[in-house]
């Protein structure tokens, strides 16, 4: 049987055009963008062009885009550098209980250094409530970090409302847009976002490249030290081939955005209908109005997600529990725990299916078929 990859929220394959342009630049334009000779200037020109494309895609200025190694570095930079450089202003930070570990762990690190962090709760659909945020903000709150769209359950947060509220305060607003970028219309000025994290590999770009948008009025020290690249905001020779590949991925995504949204929503519905027809006892985890179209998280009642994933893997089907899998051990999902309580059976009986480049309706049909067989077998074993 042909393998079926339905884990695009973890990472998505590189688009063939991205591959082509990345190789081409790697081979032909090897200059260092900081060199003053012609080879360097050529690389610099490519970098400047790419930066303009990234900026335009979120309504920002090119100077506000800092290239990074991806979502994790962007999140770490935004959170740690804001906290440290604004410590004189205040040592209180706010985030949510359902963020990616790339946000939660920097927060925990800052707590160990004497900062105070408030973790906002979410409701059963994974949404944070504005009233809770308003109640938590204090005169010494230096930063609020709320993700744009959740990577496990797909819930889209009320970013515009949060931005509008924080715009009236001295608190900076960071959002992790790693899953939402490319599928949602993001405008950092309209949404009053000060810092925003993006990663290329979720939108069919190369791995290990991303950017951090930093509002031009904000001056963050460099997270990486040892060079003056990125106008002294991120040391290290820029990865021009990956950056140009990422640029191509953004351009393709922009052309295809509405089509992709429609297609992924179609896959989502097809999967839901397929499971209903197969009489699988399941419920959707997440918000049924505000959701990322490429993610579907389902609670399959009475079936361990770990066993289900392992059985599907044997059949060549890749889906995820949405939770960290370390050395064969599955950590219970902190997102589902925050939504339903850590003792809810959903925490250990839910799986995430996610769509992207290369997904077909035939794959969804086959995945539903195999999933139904496995679920019925596991229930009767």
Could you list the active site residues? 325
Q: Which of 178, 280, 292, 368 binds ligand PLP (CB under 6 A)?
A: 178
Please state the closest distance from residue 197 (CB atom) to ligand PLP, in A: 7
Residue closer to ligand PLP, measured from CB, 147 or 371: 147
- Span 106-135, contacts to ligand PLP by CB under 6 A: none
Q: Nearest residue by C-beta to ligand PLP?
A: 71
Does position 239 interact with ligand PLP (CB under 6 A)? The reply is no
Separation of alpha carbons 345 and 373, rounded Å: 21
Residue closer to ligand PLP, measured from CB, 92 or 100: 100
Please state the closest distance from residue 202 (CB atom) to ligand PLP, in A: 7
- Span 50-109, contacts to ligand PLP by CB under 6 A: 70-72, 75, 100, 102
Separation of alpha carbons 71 and 90, rounded Å: 26
Please state the closest distance from residue 364 (CB atom) to ligand PLP, in A: 22
Judged by CB under 6 A, the stretch of 38-46, 173-181, 299-307, 361-369 that binds ligand PLP is 173-181
The side-by-side arrangement of strands in the sheet containing 172-176 is 65-68, 210-214, 195-199, 172-176, 141-145, 92-96, 116-120
Separation of alpha carbons 332 and 346, rounded Å: 10
Residue closer to ligand PLP, measured from CB, 287 or 311: 287
Does position 176 interact with ligand PLP (CB under 6 A)? The reply is yes
Judged by CB under 6 A, the stretch of 176-184, 236-244, 247-255, 264-272 that binds ligand PLP is 176-184
Separation of alpha carbons 192 and 175, rounded Å: 11
Please state the closest distance from residue 8 (CB atom) to ligand PLP, in A: 11
Residue closer to ligand PLP, measured from CB, 98 or 374: 98
Structure tokens at 155: 């819930």
Residue closer to ligand PLP, measured from CB, 311 or 323: 323
Q: How many CA atoms lie within 13 A of 228 on its CB side?
A: 2
Please state the closest distance from residue 176 (CB atom) to ligand PLP, in A: 5
- Span 144-163, contacts to ligand PLP by CB under 6 A: 147, 151
Binding string, residues 15-54; x marks residues near ligand PLP by CB under 6 A: ----------------------------------------
Please state the closest distance from residue 263 (CB atom) to ligand PLP, in A: 21
Please state the closest distance from residue 42 (CB atom) to ligand PLP, in A: 27
- Span 192-221, contacts to ligand PLP by CB under 6 A: 199, 201, 210
Residue closer to ligand PLP, measured from CB, 14 or 374: 14
- Span 283-312, contacts to ligand PLP by CB under 6 A: none
Residue closer to ligand PLP, measured from CB, 21 or 212: 212
Contact residues for ligand PLP, defined by CB under 6 A: 70-72, 75, 100, 102, 147, 151, 176, 178-179, 199, 201, 210
């Amino acid at each position: 049987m042909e393998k079926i990859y339905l884990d695009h929220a973890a990472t998505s394959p590189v688009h063939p055009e991205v591959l082509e342009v990345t190789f081409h630049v790697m081979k032909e334009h090897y200059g260092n963008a900081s060199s003053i000779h012609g080879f360097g200037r050529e690389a610099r020109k490519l970098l400047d062009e790419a930066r303009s494309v990234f900026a335009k895609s979120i309504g920002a200025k090119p100077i506000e885009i800092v290239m990074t190694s991806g979502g994790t570095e962007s999140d770490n930079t935004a959170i740690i550098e804001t906290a440290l450089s604004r410590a004189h202003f205040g040592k209180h930070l706010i985030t949510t209980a359902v963020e990616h570990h790339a946000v939660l762990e920097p927060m925990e690190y800052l707590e160990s250094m004497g900062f105070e962090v408030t973790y906002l709760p979410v409701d059963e659909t994974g949404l944070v409530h504005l009233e809770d945020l308003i109640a938590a903000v204090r005169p010494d709150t230096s930063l609020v970090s709320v993700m744009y769209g959740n990577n496990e359950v797909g819930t889209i947060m009320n970013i515009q409302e949060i931005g509008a509220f924080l715009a009236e305060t001295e608190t900076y607003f960071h959002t992790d847009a790693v899953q939402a970028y490319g599928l949602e219309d993001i405008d950092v000025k309209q949404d009053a976002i000060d810092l925003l994290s993006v990663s290329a590999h979720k939108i069919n770009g190369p791995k290990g490249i991303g950017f951090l948008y930093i509002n031009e009025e904000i001056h963050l020290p460099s997270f990486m030290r040892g060079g003056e690249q990125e106008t002294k905001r991120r040391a290290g020779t820029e990865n021009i081939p990956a950056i140009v590949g990422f640029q191509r991925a953004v351009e393709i995504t922009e052309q295809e955005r509405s089509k992709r949204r429609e297609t992924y929503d179609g896959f989502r519905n097809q999967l839901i209908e397929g499971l209903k027809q197969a009489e699988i006892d399941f419920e959707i985890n997440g918000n049924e109005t505000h959701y990322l179209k490429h993610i579907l998280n389902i609670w399959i009642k009475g079936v361990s997600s770990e066993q289900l994933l392992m059985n599907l893997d044997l059949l060549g089907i890749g889906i995820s529990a949405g939770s960290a899998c370390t050395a064969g051990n599955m950590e219970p999902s902190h997102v589902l725990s925050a939504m339903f309580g850590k003792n809810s059976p959903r925490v250990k009986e839910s799986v995430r299916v996610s769509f992207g480049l290369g997904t077909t309706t035939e794959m969804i049909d086959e995945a539903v078929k195999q999933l139904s067989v496995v679920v019925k077998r596991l229930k009767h074993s």
